[in-house]
Structure 1
Amino acid sequence: MEIALIGIGKIALDQHVPAIAASPDWELAATVSRAGTVEGTPAFTDFDELLVTRPDIRVISLCLPPVPRFDYASKALAAGRHVMLEKPPGATLAECHALTELAKQNGVSLYATWHSREADKVADAKAWLASRVLRSLTVTWKEDVRRWHPGQDWIFEAGGLGVFDPGINALSIVTEILREEIHVRDATLVFPENRQAPIAAEVAFHHPQAQVQATLDFRQEGEQTWSIEAVTDTGTLLLTHGGARMFIDGVEQGASQDGLSGEYPRLYAKMAALVQRGGLDMDLRPMTHVADAFLLGRRETTAPFHF
Structure 2
Amino acid sequence: MIRIGLVGVGKIAHDQHIPAIAADPRFDLVAAASRSQPDLGGLPVFHDIAQMLAEGPELDAVALCTPPQARRETALAALRAGKHVFLEKPPGATVSEVAELAAVAREQGVVLFTSWHSRFATGVPQAKAWLAANPVRTLSIEWREDVRRWHPGQTWIWQAGGMGVFDPAINALSILTEIMPDEVFVTDAKLQVPENVQSPIAGHVDMTTLKGAAITADLDFLQTGPQTWDITAWSDAGELKLSMGGAKLTIDGKVVVDGENREYPGLYDRFATLVAEGRSEVDVRPLTLVADAFMVGTRESVEAFIE
TM-score by length of 1: 0.97
1:272-305 residue CA offsets vs partner (Å, 9 max, x unmatched): 1111111210110000000000000000011100
Contact 1:143 1:218 in 2 (8 A): yes
1:206-255 residue CA offsets vs partner (Å, 9 max, x unmatched): 2223211101110100000000000011110000000000111111113x
1:43-84 residue CA offsets vs partner (Å, 9 max, x unmatched): 111321211234621100000000001010001001111000
Taking the aligned partners of 2:267 and 2:243, their CA distance within structure 1 comes to 20
Q: Return 28-37 or 232-241, whichever deviates more.
A: 28-37
Taking the aligned partners of 2:49 and 2:103, their CA distance within structure 1 comes to 22
Q: How does 1:78-117 map to 2 (within 5 A)?
A: 78-117=80-119
Q: How does 1:55-204 map to 2 (within 5 A)?
A: 56-204=58-206
- What residue identity is the alignment partner of 2:13? A
Q: Return 126-135 or 282-291, whichever deviates more.
A: 126-135
Taking the aligned partners of 1:135 and 1:49, their CA distance within structure 2 comes to 53
Give percent identity, aligned residues only: 50
Structure 1 counterpart SS, 2:133: coil
**Residue number in structure 2 paired with 1:238:** 241
**Residue number in structure 1 paired with 2:30:** 29
Taking the aligned partners of 1:110 and 1:46, their CA distance within structure 2 comes to 20
Deviation, 1:257, is 2.6
Deviation, 1:94, is 1.2
Deviation, 1:24, is 1.4
**Residue number in structure 2 paired with 1:44:** 46
Taking the aligned partners of 1:209 and 1:47, their CA distance within structure 2 comes to 46
TM-score by length of 2: 0.97
**Residue number in structure 1 paired with 2:20:** 19
Q: Return 290-299 or 46-55, whichever deviates more.
A: 46-55
**Residue number in structure 2 paired with 1:295:** 295
Taking the aligned partners of 1:283 and 1:155, their CA distance within structure 2 comes to 22
Taking the aligned partners of 1:142 and 1:163, their CA distance within structure 2 comes to 9
Contact 1:134 1:209 in 2 (8 A): no
- What residue identity is the alignment partner of 1:22? A
1:126-148 residue CA offsets vs partner (Å, 9 max, x unmatched): 01111112110000000000000
- What residue identity is the alignment partner of 1:235? G
Structure 2 counterpart SS, 1:60: strand
Contact 2:22 2:28 in 1 (8 A): yes
Which contiguous aligned blocks of 4+ residues in structure 1 show a shift greater than 4 angstroms?
none
Taking the aligned partners of 2:42 and 2:253, their CA distance within structure 1 comes to 47
Structure 1 counterpart SS, 2:85: strand
Contact 1:62 1:83 in 2 (8 A): yes
Would the alpha carbon gap of residues 285 and 257 (structure 1) be closer, same or farther in structure 2, given more than 3 Å must change? same
- What residue identity is the alignment partner of 1:242? G
1:253-282 residue CA offsets vs partner (Å, 9 max, x unmatched): 13x234xx1000010011011111112101
Deviation, 1:166, is 0.3
Taking the aligned partners of 1:160 and 1:205, their CA distance within structure 2 comes to 22
Contiguous gaps of at least 5 residues in structure 1 = none
